[in-house]
A and B are shown apart, each in its own frame.
Chain A
Amino acid sequence: MLANYGYKDASGDFFVTIDTEKCDGCGDCISACPAAIFLVLDEDPNDPMRDEPVAIVAQDKKKKLKYECNPCKPLRDRPPLPCVEACKAGAISHSW
């Protein structure tokens, strides 16, 4: 499942997508993210039949992703995003 966390407003699209087919709930993204936007839950809230743990974007962060993720997204010489790099399974992507 592609879980799109975030929002769209007049200033753009701000979504962090987690591919739950790839995510195994290892939690590497939690330690990599300086803004602590990720959480790992034992049960996927969007798929009650799933048994493995899964990463989600925390409820209190998903409505302000533009600002939470901003420090990792400088205007020029943008390094790879720490969360995307940390995820060995390649489950995390950003829309902006």
Chain B
Amino acid sequence: MAEEKKEFWRWTESNWKNPDLDWEDAELITVGIDVGSVSSQAVIMADGEILAYGNMRTGSDSPNSAGNALNFALQALDGMPEDRMDCCIGTGYGRINVPFADRSITEIACHARGANFIYGPEVRTVLDVGGQDIKVIQCDDKGKVTNFLMNDKCAAGTGRGMEVFSDLLGVSINEVGDRSFNVKEEPTAVSSTCVVYAKSEATGLLRKGWTTEEVLAAYCRAMAERIYSLIERVGVVPEFAVTGGMAKNRGVMDRLMPMVGLERMKTGWDTQIAGAAGAALFGYALCRKGKGRQK
């Protein structure tokens, strides 16, 4: 009988509750739902502070994944009734498909706002490497966008490409970063970052006798170069922060940062929740402006 196929790309889903906050004390509870092409997050905020979040994989059905992510976050926060939410903002690739959202806001605005929250107001340049696109955003100390670029035409250099590679090479996505540094000499980057071409190039390199680690290193370097070429267009103003799942991949980040010439900021938060956190914060701001739920 065939062995069950291991899903190397599968990253860890998580939910979390803030032990210091109680939803019953909150005046305004706002929710941000970020339905991306690969992952979905729900962040529940009490008066602008994170109460709980859920981070999971987007399924094939956007309305469902939005609900699943919210339920996942609510699970962590046992006991809060859903109708206690004052405002719900949808964002991300699938934002128009969040059935229970009061309104939707683009992920550009939300990521800048969210990065401002999770990294602090010193952030001026935000790089978000998502599942299917790359965003470079400059923002001010309030998290307001001043310059942005989003490359969503092509998935080259994005999280999905990394998933394809971890599957091809049989390396768990969580180990890609560390293993890509396990090489005697840094190889040159694969010549194409296009996922389809890079995959066939990698297969060729493996047949030529390259080790898995060398191929990983070559692909991580190619991705870093691709990401840097987009950063260059917008320019870098310190401090520099990275959001999205790729921030967890040392293989790409440790190759990218020397090109940028800066250290990236550090945070204790899950970098994947930035978009949803920004959406929840916009919900809070809009509610206070009286532009929240239209009933």
Contact = CB atoms under 8 A, between A and B. Distances in A.
Of A7, A46, A63, most buried by chain B (CB within 10 Å of CB) is A46
Contacts of B145: 1, 46-47
B147 A4 contact: yes
Interface residues of A, number: 16
Contacts of A48: 105, 109, 282, 286
A4 B108 CA distance: 11
B285 interface: yes
B233 A46 contact: no
A42 B152 CA distance: 24
Dominant secondary structure at the B interface: mixed
A52 interface: no
Contacts of A1: 144-148
Interface in A1-52: 1-4, 7-9, 13, 15, 45-49
B6 interface: no
Contact of A46 (B108, B151, B153): B108
A19 B286 CA distance: 24
Contacts of A7: 151-154
B108 A15 contact: no
Interface residues of B, number: 22
Nearest to B140: A1
Contacts of B230: 8
B141 to A, nearest CB: 15
B106 A45 contact: yes
A55 to B, nearest CB: 15
B234 interface: yes
B144 A4 contact: no
Contacts of A4: 147-150, 233-234
A21 to B, nearest CB: 9
A3 B138 CA distance: 11
Given A9-B154, A49-B285, A63-B153, A2 B147 contact: yes
A80 B197 CA distance: 38
Contacts of B234: 4
Contact of B152 (A15, A46, A63, A95): A63
A45 B149 contact: no
Contacts of A47: 109, 144-145
Interface string B150-194: 111110000000000000000000000000000000000000000
16 contacts: A1-B146, A1-B147, A1-B148, A8-B233, A9-B153, A45-B105, A45-B109, A46-B109, A46-B145, A47-B109, A47-B144, A47-B145, A48-B109, A48-B286, A49-B144, A63-B152
Interface of B: 105-106, 108-109, 144-154, 229-230, 233-234, 282, 285-286
Given A4-B234, A48-B105, 8 more contacts: A4-B150, A4-B233, A7-B152, A7-B153, A9-B153, A48-B286, A63-B152, A95-B233
